[in-house]
Structure 1
Amino acid sequence: MELKEKVAVITGGSGGIGRAMAEAFLTEGARAVILLDLDLSSVQAAATALGCEGQACNVTDEEQLSGVIDDILQRHGQIDLFCSNAGSASPGVLTDAANEDWQQQWDLHVMAHLYAARAVLPGMIERGQGYLLNTASAAGLLAAIGSGPYTVSKAAAVKLAEFLAITHGDDGIGVSVLCPQGVNTAMAPASLGDGQTDGIIEASELAATVVEALREERFHVLPHPEVADYVRRKGEDVDRWLRGMRRLRARSQE
């Protein structure tokens, strides 16, 4: 997908990955970029700084999200690229993560992607073209030790993206899933120890990888290319991978 003259919507657009992608898309010549985020003042400030549009939206509220998408379609005629990017971290495992934490992560990392797809796909399918970019995480392909709600919901986000690609690829719909490790944003890990990440990259580096992956229509968008090797090794021997992850977890608790 070439971004020139395209209309792109980015959730979680006030800062970090979302803002960096917006800047990259505008540089590529996008006709319009619309940022969505929870806080109106933050998203409008980001939009003003970049020279694009910003609207407040709770992406976990299907009715609200659908209404915002309808408004964008009314004003711009189409949405070529929808980046379902909003997310948050949530530490804890089975015993110390509350049900509310699990539900919040599920709503934000899975249902919000589903709500967005439901709202934008009819128009895309009618035109025979369109693109969905869903932000997951390397944790969704592998695991984030000590963060059960995040790991499980991000894994589900990857699977949802796979399902969308299988179901709608023949309708002319492109689907990619963004799976970074550490990025220099508010969600960056506090340390780099115990194999948590292969290095924290800048959001601008990630955005450049996204532009390249969209142009090549790659399903996995991996700003940390090492992740592809880890996924391959996991697939070759999942029992070995699980043993290795248990060792990693034990070291992290020392």
Structure 2
Amino acid sequence: MDVNQSVAIVTGAAGGIGEAVARRLLERGAQVVITDLDQARVDAAVQRLETVSPGNVRGAAGDASAEADIAAAITLAQDAFGPVDLYVANAGIGDGEGLEASEEQWSLALDVNLMAHVRAARALVPGWVERGHGYFVSTASAAGLLTQIGSATYSVTKHGAVAFAEWLSVTYGAQGVGVSCLCPMGVDTDMLRSGMTSREDDGQKAVAAVTGAGDVLEPLTVADDVLAAIAEETFLILPHADVREFLRRKVDDHDRWIRGMQRYQSSLS
């Protein structure tokens, strides 16, 4: 997909990967609507992005998992720029560790990390099929291909995000809908930094597992990989090359991989 003159929505874009992807889209000639929960942070991000491409970015506070807020972002994009061509479902949450995670934490993780993608696709994909083109980018995680030591809610919901992206591509790829799924390990974002200061043992283990398995990348480095994947219409985006090898080992011998992960978890204690 050529993003030049396209209209895009990026969720979770008041910082981190989302803002970096929005920046790269603007640099390549797209018009972008960004969303996030906090209006002040959205406004600050819009100001930063305006310096990249004046007049081609809008922002709105909203919950990426709420149907009404998804619809409002789509309407904002349509009114400002035209029909939406690209949706980057980037908002995510890592709250809830182990079996102690509450029902509310499970519900929130499922809503933000998975159902937000389903609801956005439900709102956009039928129109894309009718038009014959559209593109959906799902931000999942290497945890969605492997697992996440310490956080059951994150691992399970990110597996769901990968599975939904696969299903979306299989089901609609031949009808003009492109799909990419982003699965990084450690990225220098607020989510990772908040885990570093967590007092919960499982939260600290989760961060140690991620930072110990590979380099912590800058968001703009990850955004470059996302834009390259969109241009080439590549499904799986792996900013950390080691993830492909880890996944191969998992598929080749699942039991051996689990034993290795058990040893790795023990080393973090």
- Equivalent residue runs for 1:99-118 within 5 Å: 99-118=103-122
SS at match of 1:124: helix
2:101 paired residue number:
97
The alpha-carbon distance between structure 1 residues 8 and 224, as it changes in their structure 2 partners (threshold 3 A), is same
- Equivalent residue runs for 1:104-253 within 5 Å: 104-188=108-192, 190=196, 193-194=208-209, 196-253=212-269
Tell me by how many angstroms 1:64 deviates: 2.8
**Residue type of the alignment partner of 1:200:** V
2:201 paired residue number:
none
SS at match of 1:142: coil
- Equivalent residue runs for 1:39-54 within 5 Å: 39-51=38-50, 52-54=57-59
1:61 paired residue number:
66
Tell me by how many angstroms 1:233 deviates: 1.1
1:4 paired residue number:
4
**Is this contact kept in 2: 1:78–1:123, CA < 8 A?**
no
What TM-score, normalized to structure 1?
0.94
CA distance in 2, matches of 1:185, 1:50: 18
CA distance in 1, matches of 2:93, 2:208: 21
- Unaligned stretches of 5+ in structure 2? 51-56, 197-203
**Residue type of the alignment partner of 1:154:** K
CA distance in 2, matches of 1:39, 1:160: 27
Tell me by how many angstroms 1:72 deviates: 2.3
1:84-122 C-alpha deviation (Å, 9 max, x unpaired): 00012124111x111111111000001000011011112
CA distance in 2, matches of 1:47, 1:64: 18
The alpha-carbon distance between structure 1 residues 35 and 229, as it changes in their structure 2 partners (threshold 3 A), is same
What TM-score, normalized to structure 2?
0.89
**Is this contact kept in 2: 1:91–1:146, CA < 8 A?**
no
Tell me by how many angstroms 1:74 deviates: 3.8
**Residue type of the alignment partner of 1:105:** A
Answer 1 or 2: which has greater helix percent.
2
Q: After superposing the two structures, state which structure 1 stretch, 58-67 or 21-30, moved more.
A: 58-67
Tell me by how many angstroms 1:145 deviates: 0.3
Tell me by how many angstroms 1:194 deviates: 5.0
SS at match of 1:206: helix
**Is this contact kept in 1: 2:149–2:209, CA < 8 A?**
no
Say whether residues 1:36 and 2:35 are aligned partners.
Answer: yes
**Residue type of the alignment partner of 2:33:** I
CA distance in 2, matches of 1:91, 1:55: 27
**Is this contact kept in 1: 2:214–2:240, CA < 8 A?**
yes
Tell me by how many angstroms 1:63 deviates: 2.5
1:40-60 C-alpha deviation (Å, 9 max, x unpaired): 121122112211210111122
- Unaligned stretches of 5+ in structure 1? none
CA distance in 2, matches of 1:33, 1:98: 36
**Residue type of the alignment partner of 1:79:** V
1:124-175 C-alpha deviation (Å, 9 max, x unpaired): 1111000000100001100110010000000000000001001100110000
Aligned alpha-carbon RMSD (Å):
1.5
**Residue type of the alignment partner of 1:85:** N
